[in-house]
Amino acid sequence: MNIATAVRAAETGVPASLQEERQELQALVDIAGQTVAPLWPLDSAIAVNPLSGFEDLPFEDAVPQAAELFGARASLSLVQWRSLKAEGRIEDVAFRRAVVNALGGIDSAFESLGPDLNAYNLLVARLVELPTEDTPASRNELDAPHAVLARYLAAFFDRNAALRLPGRELGLYHSVSAALRHDPALVRAGDTTAAAWLANAPAEPLEMLLFAARRDGVSRDRRLPWLRSLVASLPGWAAHLRWRAEHGGPSASAGAPATMIELMALIALVQGSVRSGPQALAGAADAIGQVEQALLSYFGLPATAPSAWSDQARDALRRVASMSLAELGLVFQEAAEASFLGQFAPQLEGASARLTAPARAPAAEAQAVFCIDVRSEPMRRALEAQGRYETLGYAGFFGLPIAINPACEAPTRNQLPVLLSPAHVVAERAAQGREAEADALLDRHAALADARAILDTTKSGATGFATAEAAGPLAAVALLARTLAPRLTDALRKRLVGERGHVLTPSACNDHGHGAGAIPLEQRVAYAKGMFALTGLSHETARLVALVGHGGCTTNNAFAASLDCGACGGHPGGPNARLMAAILNDSEVRAGLAEQGIAIPDDSWFIAAQHDTTRDEIEIFDRQLVPASHTDDLAKFTLALQRAGAQCREERAMRLGRTPEDLLTGAAHWGEVRPEWGLSGNAAFIVGPRALTADIDLGGSAFLHSYDWKKDEDGSALTGIMTAPMIVAQWINCQYLFSTIDNEVFGAGDKTTQNVIGGFGVVQGSGGDLCVGLPRQSLFRDDGTPYHTPRRLAVIIEAPLQRVQDIVLAHDVVGRLVENGWINLVVIDPWKHKAHHWVRGEWAARPC
């Protein structure tokens, strides 16, 4: 049935059912579109859970299902897990307990199957003893029809196309399907019916899907899985499209409208150019038999031994032998998670017990509020070691829901978590007292932009030949400088061009009356109050309080933004810190706060700073505004920051297997593929006062959010923490977890063969699906072993059990993650100082 007959059918009296079928398909399309998570462009890279569409399922079911759909590995290989265990990242006790749990408890695990044989022995043998092949994640390769489509998708989505895809403004389906009809490569790749198929393709995407479903005999009850498989055949481009439609705003799709149904229709169109025969299924039963034989022979038993066993014993053997890689991997993963909790939970319990002791520490010389990012933890520990310094953890956008309108020709950028939308657009302007420098800087930037425009205009076409010749000598200088003297070159560049972050700052107030960019006073007071409420920061603040944002520092790195602050929309957090510091130093705001019971001492001054996580240097902004009375405090604090930075760099260099000096060079070197480990190693999100974790070396594995349950009587602060920063931490955790498990499908693969496409993403080699997730070098060591251990996020909260339980039950977004096992929720009872683990609907005492 083609479109013509369908229309005729509608006219001749069966419109109702056809209309219904269309509506049903449209509804299914919307559901199937959620199969992939939105993928942010790399200039504002945001970590997302690539399996966010599967969070309605329990973790253990979701992973194998998604792995099958996307053609991914469901776990690290057993060889990799064994090496992690051999390295000591999995404790023996935790491992044994995980094996027993996987077998359904002690009884079934240790029930005797025969002489000296039980299910526990069998499973341990499968996990760590039986020879196994190391199956590496294989490179994702598209067949010809999908590869053709991927080229057009790239051309359609290209932001910087010199030459636009014809008809792009008409929409994705119209322009690409028109081009595909003229595509010789697709006809060649297809079978004999391909040309006719392409010629008869309906003009509307919904009709195209109906057409394809009917031709391939996809019955109505199988349409959802079919649509999901369409999306999953080009998950990267689909994920980009989801971002574009849901988060990109009108500017992202201006001049090139596209919807998910159009993409699905195009995939159905190219798939239809080859009529696939029935797919042969692998002989699964046979493989299980082989594993059984291997197990038996490992225990020195003849192949016929089970015939003498009881049915129960045979079932036990079969069960162990039939466990999939996903199930086996999960045993290791749970053991790794338990190892982490086993190591730190007792220490946290001990710290909680000591908290009640009213030992009043002398007031801090200075306080510093860091982002909750795991890279803040070593730095905070190092700073605290320098003297009487107190640190806190708070989401790195400092609670300011802003977008910044840059002072030059650049689009507005969101400086807040993607869960929120900006409430204020704040203008970037010269920092107070540095107006002349700012003007000079903007002039230099404009000149540089002009120079770039000259190159862009002349580099292609007939003028490109002369441009290449003219730029050659310049390129030779740049080649040598960037390769042989990277740090000098970087310093020189900063000297000549200037750093906009130094002299330009977002501004909350409009000096010339109240313009559009200003944040109203009551809002400013509310944001300031929010920081005290969520972190439990006492209003008796120290003489100096630093708000420390963070950002990475790398060059020639497509994934640079993935090292920046996720809470600031994948940008450095300095601007938010500066705005918040300005708000808190504002006398009007302080008066407003005092009215609400937060009387900040008059001798307290807030400064903004930014932690460079690649070099571990903390830069203080707006020194010129610090009152003379605080100069000595600032000098002392600066020195402490320098020492802390050096200590932190030393610690981090060891984890990278390099020298601290080499890290500084790597940050400026254009060939460096691993300037830092980023958030690799993240394992926990700890909510509580700093005293809970102050004596523990967490090795950069934990997000630390300050919280004081005593100051949060109605639980609203904890609700805020669990519904926003915790969710973001879980996204990050899942991105790292799945990018490690299968770096080719859920990750972005090898950095050195990546190819920037459209100005916003990368593909491997000469094209194909858009890469999602993180590159290999961010997660794996030079020798190929995983640096990041795949572990679900342990959320550890010090608060009354009932309060946490109420929040979990009241908020579906939290309850879903906890109940389906996407996070491990552990609550430390503040009275009994015991950790409790939420296990599918009830509290269990910590398993240790």
Partner 1 sequence: MNAITMTTNTATGTRGWRASIADVPVLALGALLAVAIATGNASVTAAGAALSALSLLVTIVVLAFSRRQLRADPRSASFARLATGLAIATVLMGLAADALLLAAAWIVSGRLMAGLIGHVGEWSEARDAARRANIAFTVGDIALVVAVGSLASIAGSTDIAAIKAALPAMPALETTVAAFLLVIAALARCAIPPFSNWLMRSLAAPTPVSALMHAGFVNAGGFLLIQFAPVLEASLNARYALFATGIVAALVGSAIMLVRADIKGSLAASTVGQMGFMLLTVALGAYPAALWHMIAHGLFKAWLFLGSAGTISSAPTRAKGLSQPWPALIALATIIGGIALIQTEQAHALLPVCLALTALLSALAVALRALPRGPLGAAVALAPIVLIAINAAALAFMTAVQPGAAQPLISPYGQIAILSLFLAGWVWQQRIVSGQQALPPALFARMIHAGNALTSSTNANAKD
Size of the site for partner 1 (CB under 8 A): 115
Of the pair 2, 463, the CB lying nearest partner 1 is at 463
**Regarding beta strands 424-430 and 402-405, do their DSSP bridges make them parallel or antiparallel, or are they unpaired?**
parallel
Backbone CA torsion sign across 79, 84, 85, 91: negative
Q: Indicate which single residue of 287, 308, 436, 447 sits in contact with partner 1 (rule: CB under 8 A).
A: 447
The interface with partner 1 within residues 211-250 (CB under 8 A) comprises none
Q: Indicate which single residue of 217, 783, 841, 842 sits in contact with partner 1 (rule: CB under 8 A).
A: 783
CB of residue 349 to partner 1, shortest distance in Å: 34
Q: Indicate which single residue of 286, 469, 713, 842 sits in contact with partner 1 (rule: CB under 8 A).
A: 469
CB of residue 555 to partner 1, shortest distance in Å: 7
Within the chain, how many helices (H) and strands (E) appear?
33, 19
Q: Indicate which single residue of 478, 492, 497, 839 sits in contact with partner 1 (rule: CB under 8 A).
A: 478
Of the pair 154, 431, the CB lying nearest partner 1 is at 154
Q: Indicate which single residue of 14, 466, 491, 813 sits in contact with partner 1 (rule: CB under 8 A).
A: 466
CA neighbours closer than 13 Å in the CB half-sphere of residue 528: 33
The interface with partner 1 within residues 133-162 (CB under 8 A) comprises 138-139, 141-144, 147-148, 151-152, 154-155, 157-162
> Binding segment for partner 1 among 323-331, 349-357, 470-478, 687-695 (CB under 8 A)?
470-478
- End-to-end Cα spacing for the chain: 64
CB of residue 154 to partner 1, shortest distance in Å: 4
Q: Are 779 and 740 in contact (CB under 8 A)?
A: yes
The interface with partner 1 within residues 325-344 (CB under 8 A) comprises none
Backbone CA torsion sign across 737, 743, 745, 747: positive
From the list 707, 714, 711, 775, the residue with the least C-alpha distance to 561 is: 775
Of the pair 31, 470, the CB lying nearest partner 1 is at 470
Give the x/- contact pattern for partner 1 in 575-604, rule: CB under 8 A: ------------------------------
H/E element, 124: helix 119-124
CB of residue 457 to partner 1, shortest distance in Å: 5
Q: Indicate which single residue of 249, 346, 464, 627 sits in contact with partner 1 (rule: CB under 8 A).
A: 464
Q: Does 473 bind partner 1 (CB under 8 A)?
A: yes
> Count of CB atoms within 10 A of residue 178's CB?
16
* CA Rg value for the chain: 29
Give the x/- contact pattern for partner 1 in 171-210, rule: CB under 8 A: -------xxxxxxxx---x---------------------
Q: Which amino acid is at 643?
A: R
Q: Are 178 and 167 in contact (CB under 8 A)?
A: yes
CB of residue 81 to partner 1, shortest distance in Å: 18
The interface with partner 1 within residues 32-51 (CB under 8 A) comprises 41-44
Backbone CA torsion sign across 176, 181, 187, 190: positive
Of the pair 685, 760, the CB lying nearest partner 1 is at 760
771 is in an annotated binding site: no
The residues pairing with 611 across neighbouring beta strands, listed in sequence order, are 550, 618
Which residue bears the tokens 């359609």?
156
CB of residue 762 to partner 1, shortest distance in Å: 8
CB of residue 500 to partner 1, shortest distance in Å: 13
Q: Indicate which single residue of 15, 104, 433, 657 sits in contact with partner 1 (rule: CB under 8 A).
A: 657
Q: Are 388 and 364 in contact (CB under 8 A)?
A: yes
Query: 796 — phi, psi (to 5°)?
Result: -115, 120
Q: Indicate which single residue of 105, 461, 601, 627 sits in contact with partner 1 (rule: CB under 8 A).
A: 461
The interface with partner 1 within residues 542-561 (CB under 8 A) comprises 555-558, 560-561
The interface with partner 1 within residues 722-781 (CB under 8 A) comprises 750-760, 763-767, 776-777, 780-781
Q: Are 821 and 59 in contact (CB under 8 A)?
A: yes
The interface with partner 1 within residues 663-722 (CB under 8 A) comprises 666, 669-674
Give the x/- contact pattern for partner 1 in 92-131, rule: CB under 8 A: ----------------------------------------
Q: Are 19 and 11 in contact (CB under 8 A)?
A: no
CB of residue 750 to partner 1, shortest distance in Å: 7
Q: Does 480 bind partner 1 (CB under 8 A)?
A: yes
Secondary structure (3-state) at 682: coil
> Count of CB atoms within 10 A of residue 419's CB?
13
Q: Indicate which single residue of 356, 463, 642, 802 sits in contact with partner 1 (rule: CB under 8 A).
A: 463
CB of residue 415 to partner 1, shortest distance in Å: 13
Q: Are 18 and 10 in contact (CB under 8 A)?
A: yes
Of the pair 746, 780, the CB lying nearest partner 1 is at 780
CA–CA distance, 444 with 437 (Å, rounded to integer): 11
Q: Does 472 bind partner 1 (CB under 8 A)?
A: yes
Backbone CA torsion sign across 669, 673, 674, 680: positive
The interface with partner 1 within residues 784-843 (CB under 8 A) comprises 784
Which residue bears the tokens 């690539």?
50
CB of residue 477 to partner 1, shortest distance in Å: 9
CB of residue 167 to partner 1, shortest distance in Å: 7
CA–CA distance, 112 with 668 (Å, rounded to integer): 62
Q: Indicate which single residue of 363, 454, 491, 492 sits in contact with partner 1 (rule: CB under 8 A).
A: 454
Of the pair 517, 660, the CB lying nearest partner 1 is at 660
Q: Are 125 and 295 in contact (CB under 8 A)?
A: yes
CA–CA distance, 575 with 361 (Å, rounded to integer): 32
Query: 113 — phi, psi (to 5°)?
Result: -95, -25
Per DSSP, 520 falls in state: P
Which residue bears the tokens 């700052």?
505
From the list 181, 188, 182, 219, the residue with the least C-alpha distance to 202 is: 181
565 is in an annotated binding site: yes
Per DSSP, 791 falls in state: -
Q: Indicate which single residue of 475, 591, 599, 813 sits in contact with partner 1 (rule: CB under 8 A).
A: 475
Q: Does 470 bind partner 1 (CB under 8 A)?
A: yes
Q: Does 620 bind partner 1 (CB under 8 A)?
A: no
Count how many residues are written for the chain.
848
CA–CA distances in Å: residue 504 to residues 405, 408, 611 = 11, 11, 18
The interface with partner 1 within residues 341-380 (CB under 8 A) comprises none
CB of residue 803 to partner 1, shortest distance in Å: 42
Query: CB-based burial of residue 841 (10 Å sphere; 0-12 exposed, 13-18 middle, 19+ buried)?
Result: exposed
CB of residue 649 to partner 1, shortest distance in Å: 14
553 is in an annotated binding site: no
The interface with partner 1 within residues 401-430 (CB under 8 A) comprises 410-411, 413
Q: Does 631 bind partner 1 (CB under 8 A)?
A: no
Q: Does 264 bind partner 1 (CB under 8 A)?
A: no
371 is in an annotated binding site: yes
Q: Does 272 bind partner 1 (CB under 8 A)?
A: no
Q: Angle 716-723/812-819 helices, nearest 10 degrees?
A: 60
CA–CA distance, 517 with 561 (Å, rounded to integer): 26
Q: Are 417 and 395 in contact (CB under 8 A)?
A: yes
CB of residue 64 to partner 1, shortest distance in Å: 22
Q: Does 308 bind partner 1 (CB under 8 A)?
A: no
Of the pair 105, 784, the CB lying nearest partner 1 is at 784
CA–CA distance, 552 with 613 (Å, rounded to integer): 5
CB of residue 17 to partner 1, shortest distance in Å: 36
CA–CA distance, 481 with 489 (Å, rounded to integer): 6
Which residues belong to the annotated binding site?
Answer: 371, 373, 550, 565
Which residues belong to the annotated binding site for Zn(2+)?
Answer: 371, 373, 550, 565
